[in-house]
């Protein structure tokens, strides 16, 4: 029986880890480009959860009753609007502080997080919101008495996460825009001298990170069915932990860190205690920062003199 419990926790962990990985990409991209942690990113994910629920209601209102079309409509609208949030935050908050010391953008990020939380709380109410289950059903692997249950929604989350990561990898490594991203990351001043509009590239990084958070917001909303204005804080910190675990600044590291953290948290919940799973996740962050601050796939920063 233990092998089936282990298998079930691994499935749950991979599902959760895929979500952490998508959100962690936003942290790692912003840090890779401008060397700053965008602590408002978790609340951008929270906003996307509300946008996805509203978009789903709009799709139903306009008579889109086909579940695939409704979900596609919801995903596209959520990605567009959440991307606009990311662009607006970068232009209005972070760009004016780009040449200041690092403390000012950090404090501003915390301020943006509080603004988004209170904005959503006032506009949508403090109560827990929810959406109906649209993709029920599951697969059972095993015998009649002992089995591993793989929900259809879990399969969709893992599949969409893999597709999103593959598309982003192709964008970064296989396109001219991706070369501009990498050049800006390596040396922003030299990239500007070579004619790259680095301000535009940085804005696009915030947009892409927000789009990844939007995908996670849609998937989580459909999977769990409930959310509130404070959901971005805990998930955001865990996604940041995943980014640090994998190596902040590394895209493969963000997804690897998300999967590892999701699996570890799920195993801890299943075999130790679910009451302390958040404490465990934050403990992982502390241990990584102490013993391997560069993460699994990250590179130690080299100071040029």
Give the pLDDT confidence of 146-198 residue by residue, as tens digits: 778 888 888 999 999 989 988 998 998 889 988 998 898 888 888 899 889 99
CA distances from 143 to 4, 146, 149, 271 (A): 10, 5, 11, 22
Per-residue b/e over 101-119, b at no fewer than 16 CB within 10 Å? eeeebeebbeebbeebbee
The whole-number pLDDT of residue 186 equals 85
Range of the domain at 212: 2-116+129-142+151-291
Cα 127-268-160 angle, rounded to 5 deg: 65
d(CA 287, CA 105): 26
> DSSP string of 256-303?
HHHHHHHHHHHHHHHHT-GGGHHHHHHHHHHHHHHH-TT-SS------
The whole-number pLDDT of residue 30 equals 87
**pLDDT exceeds 70 at position 300:** no
The whole-number pLDDT of residue 82 equals 95
Is there a domain that residue 300 lies in?
Answer: no
- Which pLDDT tens digit goes with each residue over 227-249? 888 888 888 888 988 998 888 88
Is there a domain that residue 272 lies in?
Answer: yes
Residue 19, Cβ density class (10 Å: 0-12 exposed, 13-18 middle, ≥19 buried) = buried
Element (H, E) at 247: none
Is there a domain that residue 230 lies in?
Answer: yes
The stretch 136-141 carries a mean pLDDT of: 80
The whole-number pLDDT of residue 23 equals 92
Is there a domain that residue 201 lies in?
Answer: yes
Is there a domain that residue 84 lies in?
Answer: yes
Spatial CA neighbour of 23 closest among 268, 301, 259, 198: 259
Is there a domain that residue 225 lies in?
Answer: yes
d(CA 209, CA 23): 8
The stretch 271-288 carries a mean pLDDT of: 84
How many other CB atoms are there within 10 angstroms of residue 224's CB atom? Answer: 15
**pLDDT exceeds 80 at position 304:** no
Give percent above pLDDT 90 in the chain: 31
Asked whether 151 and 138 are in contact (CB, 8 A), the reply is yes
Per the structure, the count of domains in the chain is 1
Domain CATH for 17: 1.10.3470
The stretch 90-102 carries a mean pLDDT of: 83
Is there a domain that residue 98 lies in?
Answer: yes
Is there a domain that residue 298 lies in?
Answer: no
d(CA 56, CA 72): 10
How many other CB atoms are there within 10 angstroms of residue 191's CB atom? Answer: 20
């Amino acid at each position: 029986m233990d092998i089936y419990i282990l298998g079930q926790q691994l499935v749950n962990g991979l599902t959760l880890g895929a979500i952490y990985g998508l959100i962690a990409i936003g942290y790692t991209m912003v840090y890779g480009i401008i060397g700053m942690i965008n602590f408002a990113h978790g609340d951008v994910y929270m906003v996307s959860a509300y946008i996805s629920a509203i978009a789903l209601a709009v799709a139903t209102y306009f008579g889109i009753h086909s579940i695939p079309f409704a979900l596609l409509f919801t995903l596209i609208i959520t990605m567009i609007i959440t991307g606009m949030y990311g662009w607006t935050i970068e232009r209005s908050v972070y760009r004016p502080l780009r040449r200041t010391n690092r403390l000012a953008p950090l404090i501003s990020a915390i301020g943006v997080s509080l603004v988004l939380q209170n904005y959503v709380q006032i506009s949508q109410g403090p109560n827990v919101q929810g959406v109906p289950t649209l993709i029920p059903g599951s697969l059972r692997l095993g015998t009649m008495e002992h089995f591993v249950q793989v929900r259809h929604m879990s399969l969709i989350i893992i599949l969409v996460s893999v597709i999103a990561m593959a598309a982003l990898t192709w964008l970064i490594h296989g396109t001219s825009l991706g070369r501009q991203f990498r050049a800006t990351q390596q040396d922003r001043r030299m990239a500007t001298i070579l004619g790259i509009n680095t301000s535009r590239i940085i804005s696009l990084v915030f947009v892409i990170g927000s789009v990844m958070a939007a995908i996670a917001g849609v998937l989580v909303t459909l999977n769990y069915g409930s959310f509130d204005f404070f959901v971005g804080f805990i998930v955001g910190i865990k996604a940041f932990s995943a980014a640090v675990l994998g190596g902040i600044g590394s895209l493969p590291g963000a997804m690897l860190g998300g999967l590892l953290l999701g699996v570890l948290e799920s195993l801890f919940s299943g075999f130790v205690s679910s009451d302390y799973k958040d404490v465990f996740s934050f403990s992982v962050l502390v241990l990584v920062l102490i013993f391997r601050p560069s993460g699994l796939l990250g590179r130690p920063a080299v100071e040029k003199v």
